[in-house]
Amino acid sequence: MSDTRTWDHMLERAKTNNFLGKQLFVVFTYPADGMEPIMENITEHLAYQRMLEDTGVMFAAGPMGDRGGETWSGSGMVVVRAENFAAAEKIAAADPMHASGARNYHVQPWLVNEGTITVKVGFASGSRELD
């Protein structure tokens, strides 16, 4: 017997169990040849990230620390909203980090089923807190 299930099975399981069942796509991005090319492309990359955020494509993004969280060697993760895997691949390929060859990447679908999010906004102070 196989230890795997089809992705469609997982999507259907989320529906039948009243889970959130929100499919997103995770772009794991990592240095192709050290930090120098990454730093050379960081401005364009961040502008692209901002555009994804402003247009509602990006769910979340940021650098990933090395094991133990003591250093950063250029890896990151971007979670995007996309119609399908091909669309998510296109979004990832257009990132200046990837288009320039500074980073390699791979995309994986992610099904958000459980969890919580708390948002606190101070109207008068303009403060915001996300937990």
Identify the residue with better confidence: 25 or 5. Answer: 25
Question: What does the pLDDT look like over 78-96, one tens digit per residue?
Answer: 999 999 999 999 999 999 9
pLDDT at 61: 96
The answer to whether residue 2 is domain-embedded is no
Query: Which domain CATH number covers 118?
Result: 3.30.70.1060
Q: Which two tokens stand for residue 54?
A: 């402003």
The answer to whether residue 49 is domain-embedded is yes
Indicate the pLDDT class of residue 18, thresholds 50, 70 and 90.
very high
Counting the structural domains of the chain, the total is 1
The answer to whether residue 1 is domain-embedded is no
The answer to whether residue 105 is domain-embedded is yes
The answer to whether residue 117 is domain-embedded is yes
Q: What is the mean pLDDT of residues 35-41?
A: 96
pLDDT at 1: 56
Give the pTM: 0.88
What is the rounded average pLDDT for all residues in the chain? Answer: 94
pLDDT at 85: 97
Domain that holds residue 21: 7-130
